[in-house]
């Protein structure tokens, strides 16, 4: 395995820290009440996100130029999981805001998530949309995206982010108990930090400018802070199943 020093720091230091926090958060949420539907959905968001990071760990070990197509497909698979995880997050926020809506049924939740599972397949269908270059000396470079691939990525991430933040704001205003509103505010800030990571990854892979990649690596504390905020707002401070708090307005 041969990686550029900045990419090594990016993946094996910052991503590893985020990966560990996410797994702990998922465990904490499911331990609270594994049968609770909202807990399950929130955990699936974290698990899919963690799997995407784990796949990044795997394909960075590929150093043979002949394995470049495999590295590229694993990179796209990681993006697929990020897209699906954003769907689980949006579903969680929608149910938290309106627990009585039709999406509360398992069938409708599956149909909602099918939109993300199916539409995200488009990542694999864009011809030469992404590439993970591997040099002849075995050095693996950063992924590079084409404009169509980047626009498709934004077509999923941007609407999901806008809806998630808009509905989260409404949830925040519905809480009448100060401590619950404060926790929701931390949750929203944490989500903003995570979306910063998503957009920064997409932008740097598209522009493919080394100095921007290095700056992004130096700001990886932002998503780490986001994961910590999510932990303190949901993973740690909510001792009851999440659904119990919806009625405490």
- Report pLDDT digits (tens) over 110-161: 999 999 999 999 999 999 999 999 988 888 889 999 999 999 999 999 999 9
Contact 103, 112 (CB under 8 A): yes
For the chain, domains (ranges, CATH) are 2-246 (1.20.1070.10)
Give the model confidence (pLDDT) of 47-62 as tens digits. 999 999 999 889 988 8
Q: What pLDDT is stored for residue 1 in this prediction?
A: 52
Q: What pLDDT is stored for residue 249 in this prediction?
A: 44
- Residue 34's pLDDT band, with cuts at 50, 70 and 90, is confident
Contact 40, 34 (CB under 8 A): yes
Q: 67 pLDDT exceeds 80?
A: yes
Contact 79, 153 (CB under 8 A): yes
- Candidates 198, 214, 247; CA nearest to 8 is 214
Distance of alpha carbon 12 from alpha carbon 19, whole angstroms: 10
Q: What pLDDT is stored for residue 86 in this prediction?
A: 95
Arithmetic mean of pLDDT, 12-35: 83
Arithmetic mean of pLDDT, 205-227: 87
Specify the pTM: 0.89
Arithmetic mean of pLDDT, 32-45: 84
Arithmetic mean of pLDDT, 196-214: 91
Percent of the chain with pLDDT over 70: 89
Arithmetic mean of pLDDT, 171-176: 77
């Amino acid at each position: 395995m041969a990686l550029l020093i900045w990419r090594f720091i990016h993946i094996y230091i910052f991503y590893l820290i985020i990966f560990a926090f996410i797994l702990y958060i998922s465990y904490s949420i499911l331990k609270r009440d594994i049968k609770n539907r909202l807990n399950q959905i929130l955990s699936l968001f974290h698990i899919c996100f963690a799997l995407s990071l784990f796949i990044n760990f795997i394909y960075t070990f590929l150093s043979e130029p002949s394995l470049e197509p495999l590295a590229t497909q694993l990179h796209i698979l990681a993006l697929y999981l990020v897209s699906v995880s954003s769907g689980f997050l949006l579903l969680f926020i929608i149910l938290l805001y309106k627990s009585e809506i039709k999406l509360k049924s398992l069938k409708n939740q599956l149909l909602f998530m099918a939109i993300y599972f199916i539409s995200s397949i488009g990542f694999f269908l864009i011809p030469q949309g992404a590439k993970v270059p591997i040099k002849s000396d075995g050095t693996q470079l950063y992924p590079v995206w084409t404009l169509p691939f980047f626009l498709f990525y934004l077509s999923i991430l941007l609407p999901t982010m806008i809806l998630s933040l808009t509905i989260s704001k409404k949830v925040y205003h519905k809480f009448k108990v100060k401590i619950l509103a404060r926790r929701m505010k931390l949750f929203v800030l944490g989500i903003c930090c995570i979306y910063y990571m998503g957009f920064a990854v997409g932008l740097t892979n598209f522009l493919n400018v080394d100095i921007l990649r290095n700056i992004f690596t130096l700001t990886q504390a932002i998503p780490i802070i986001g994961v910590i905020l999510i932990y303190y707002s949901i993973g740690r401070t909510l001792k009851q199943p999440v659904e119990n708090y919806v009625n405490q307005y």
